Amino acid sequence: MLTTAIAAALVSVPGVLLAQPTVSANEALAGINVSEAPRVTQAVSNSHLSSLPKSHLAFVAQSTSNTPLAGATPMSHLQLVLKPSALRTAELTTLIANQHNPKSAQFHQWLTPQQFGEAFGVVDSDIAAATSWLVSQGFTVNGVYPNKSQVDFSGTAAQVNLAFHTQENVYTLSDGSQHFANASDISVPTALQPVITGVMGLNSMQLKPSRKMPAAAKWNPSTGRFNALASKTASSHSMTIGQGGLNGVRGLVPNDLAKMYGVSTIRNNGVTGKGITIALIELGSALPNDWSNFVTQFNLTPFGGTFEQVNPQLGSLNNCYNVDTINHAQFESIETVEDMEAATAIAPGANIEVADCSAVTNTYAPASTNIYQGYFIAGTNLVNGDARPDIMSFTISYSELQTDSASEAGIDLMAAQADAEGISIFAGTGTTGSNPSFNSRVITGVGISAGSIVSSPNVTAVGGTDLADELDGTTSQYFSATPNAVYGTALGYVPEIPWNSSCGNGVVAKANGFPDVVSLCQFMLSQDPDAKYVTSLGSSSGASTVISKPAWQRMVYNTAKDQSRDVPDVSLFGGSYGGDTGLVLCMQDYPCTPNFSEPVVVVANESMAAPMFAGIQALIDQGLVMRGLPADQGNAAPTLYALAQQEYGAASGPAPASLSACNADNGDTGTANCVFHNITRGSTSTQCDHYVGEISYVTGQPINTPNCYYYGTADIEGLVYSFGLSTTDASPTTYGPGNKAYGAQPGWSFASGLGSVNATNLLIAWRAFVNAPAAAAP
């Protein structure tokens, strides 16, 4: 009877399953039984329900709302995330491990989306049972993804309330913004519970692209730096450098990045990323002229790279909209410009593809309401499509504390599928120290948390670094006073420290004669009673509370002895203390002109690190193709950790001599033969605060920021604020190396992962790892 009902449901929902091309089995699926018995074995009844744990945001459980979301509110393109069986989950984990093991017959045997769905998705009869139930509840089923693990469907708030036995309410957050969310965990028919993980899109907690333009800067030939046209107000303390100080802003250009990260040598040998496609997943668009201006200004045009912007639709889902078309105007997102120009700076021969899906079809109707809105839709559509990229880069991440379980599951599904297909994903860890959700604001009210994209075990997490030469007083060793023909001044690798713009930066404290960062922070508070210096701006890092530690992350000296997926994995330049150093951008209002005769934008933001590493991966991919091997490498992290073990040593046993030899402080000549630059100074422990007596709009309770060691208070406009530094202790009474969140150390560290890389040496080591043939004789 159940089989008959399912067959009837499929007839009543034409086109539910997206087109499934016939594919032949390959060696990747050898030994895997792609057939599986249905798990929906009972009649689907709304009178027998099961709750899905943790299917609503944690803050909602502690709050009340008297404002129900209007029942007619559209809830478009929700994602029903399906649950594979335990056996298929285990088989997928084993397959991916073998795909990264050069000794396995499954090494680099990548799947298509259809093969992934057949082997690791939910069986057709179970999908039909779920979709027929959705239709019976009044929803429109837009389609089933080829991975057979997602169902795209649309409806209204009233239909959601009735079908999932919850209440969509409107909540006001502490920043005054309003969002809707389901007030309780959702329930589904017990018969379907074995195959349903949850629903993405039941809350509108969403990331938003920044529309704030950084200050433009004008080239000063006498100093060899840029002077900000709208300088930041200098705080009254002696540690201010860069935009708030006397030195001006140092603008890095593509030639500088190529010198710093060992790209120049292989570029001269024709390794430019040619033929490799990097998809940058964005929340907004850029302007094509920005990219063409950038490659022209820095003489990158001869390398033959390409640029395009796409809105990746998938079949008939119609869930990806062009934000510019919707708003009848062309917008320029600063984050998108950063990403596309940073990736091009490293891999000027690559095909750069900006992919975004608008969050709204018009001013009022959301196209997707999951926490990552069109950001997730763009990524999952690419992974499930026919024209898949070689590499993907995500630069924005919300913390796990603010991500619902269904969204976390959807992200992990997308990343695992991409990895199994051979796509390398890089994601930025964030820009606010120990909690990425604050998007450069000060951490308040919540504790430390890793990002929900970067914590995936199938993603390579990229943190941000700063250049240490200014603080060390060694700039003349690493930078020329005179720019070359393509405006570069870097002479080679420059010592790095974790990017930390706060007074928690221990390298800054030492450079200015303070015994520790607490003394520096207290001094700055005494000199600046309005606390304008307080910031959480810096590279984010942390331990996942959701994802367990993958086996490959246990391989390297000093990896954390926890059970969590820890981030970052690697780091590249992301920002600087005092805004001293940034990347020169070419934008519509501030185009690049010969000799910088007109102002440009110089921006320091960690989001550039992930697309830069995506560019390095493009060089690796092309470098392998040049030896007759396939380009795609899947998740880069397992290989990076295997290579780092050779240089830093294993998790147990003594450290080899190469660990100290590859210390980033050794500079260009000291690390010339190293794959990794081991960053051992500084931390990502940034500032946190709350004002005494503050009541949360959300919880109705006083705000007291966890994991914050308070070092002082200040009365600002009648409100008493407590200021502190982030720690790993929930309620710290001390602050130091044992609990700050987080300090650098030899080997792997939370502050910067394995450190940064020399691209030339990385390619040589990677070729050896995959047993690439020797170069052909000249």
Three-state DSSP state, 278: strand
Q: Which residues contact 4 (CB under 8 A, 6 or more apart)?
A: none
Q: Give 772's pLDDT tier (boundaries 50, 70, 90).
A: confident
- The mean per-residue pLDDT over the stretch 546-554 comes to 96
- The mean per-residue pLDDT over the stretch 580-595 comes to 95
- The mean per-residue pLDDT over the stretch 508-536 comes to 92
> pLDDT tens digits, residue range 443-459?
988 889 999 999 999 99
CB 713 within 8 A of CB 722: yes
* pLDDT for 231: 52
* Best CA proximity match to 371, nearest among 409, 345, 344, 343: 409
- The mean per-residue pLDDT over the stretch 339-347 comes to 97
- The mean per-residue pLDDT over the stretch 134-142 comes to 98
How far apart are the C-alpha atoms of 167 and 153, rounded to whole Å? 19
* pLDDT for 246: 52
* Best CA proximity match to 455, nearest among 541, 339, 574, 539: 541
How far apart are the C-alpha atoms of 444 and 733, rounded to whole Å? 18
> pLDDT tens digits, residue range 480-507?
999 999 999 999 999 999 999 999 999 9
Q: Which amino acid is at 466?
A: D
53-62 burial: b if 16+ Cβ within 10 Å, else e:
eebbbebbee
* pLDDT for 552: 97
How far apart are the C-alpha atoms of 183 and 167, rounded to whole Å? 5
> pLDDT tens digits, residue range 737-767?
999 999 999 999 999 999 999 999 999 999 9
> pLDDT tens digits, residue range 671-718?
999 999 999 999 999 999 988 766 654 556 666 899 999 999 998 888
Q: How many residues are given for the chain?
A: 778
CB 6 within 8 A of CB 43: no
How far apart are the C-alpha atoms of 506 and 709, rounded to whole Å? 16
| Domain positions in the chain | 2-13+48-200, 248-501+537-683+742-769
Residue 328 confidence (pLDDT) above 60: no
- The mean per-residue pLDDT over the stretch 647-651 comes to 96
How far apart are the C-alpha atoms of 520 and 513, rounded to whole Å? 9
Q: Which residues contact 50 (CB under 8 A, 6 or more apart)?
A: 187, 188, 189, 190, 193
Quote the percentage of the chain above a pLDDT of 70. Answer: 87
How far apart are the C-alpha atoms of 284 and 331, rounded to whole Å? 7
Three-state DSSP state, 576: coil
Three-state SS string across 241-254, please?
Answer: CHHHCCCCEEEECH
- The mean per-residue pLDDT over the stretch 581-610 comes to 92
DSSP 366: B
How far apart are the C-alpha atoms of 169 and 23, rounded to whole Å? 45
Q: Give 397's pLDDT tier (boundaries 50, 70, 90).
A: confident
* pLDDT for 359: 53
Choice between 529 and 280, residue whose per-residue pLDDT is larger: 280
Q: Which CATH superfamily is domain 248-501+537-683+742-769 in?
A: Peptidase S8/S53 domain (3.40.50.200)
Q: Which amino acid is at 451?
A: G
Kindly report which listed range (48-57, 165-174, 536-545) carries the lowest average pLDDT score. Answer: 165-174
Instruction: Please give the backbone phi and psi of residue 469, each rounded to the nearest 5 degrees, phi first.
Output: -65, -35
> pLDDT tens digits, residue range 46-95?
999 999 998 988 767 666 677 999 999 989 899 999 999 999 999 999 99
* Best CA proximity match to 471, nearest among 489, 496, 488, 491: 496
Chain centroid offset of residue 282 CA: 11
* Best CA proximity match to 296, nearest among 305, 284, 287: 305
* pLDDT for 62: 60
* pLDDT for 13: 42
Residue 205 confidence (pLDDT) above 80: no
**Which CA distances in Å does 338 have to 5, 89, 341, 587, 759?**
52, 37, 5, 10, 21
* pLDDT for 87: 95
How far apart are the C-alpha atoms of 636 and 423, rounded to whole Å? 9
CB 433 within 8 A of CB 401: no
* Mean of pLDDT over the chain: 89
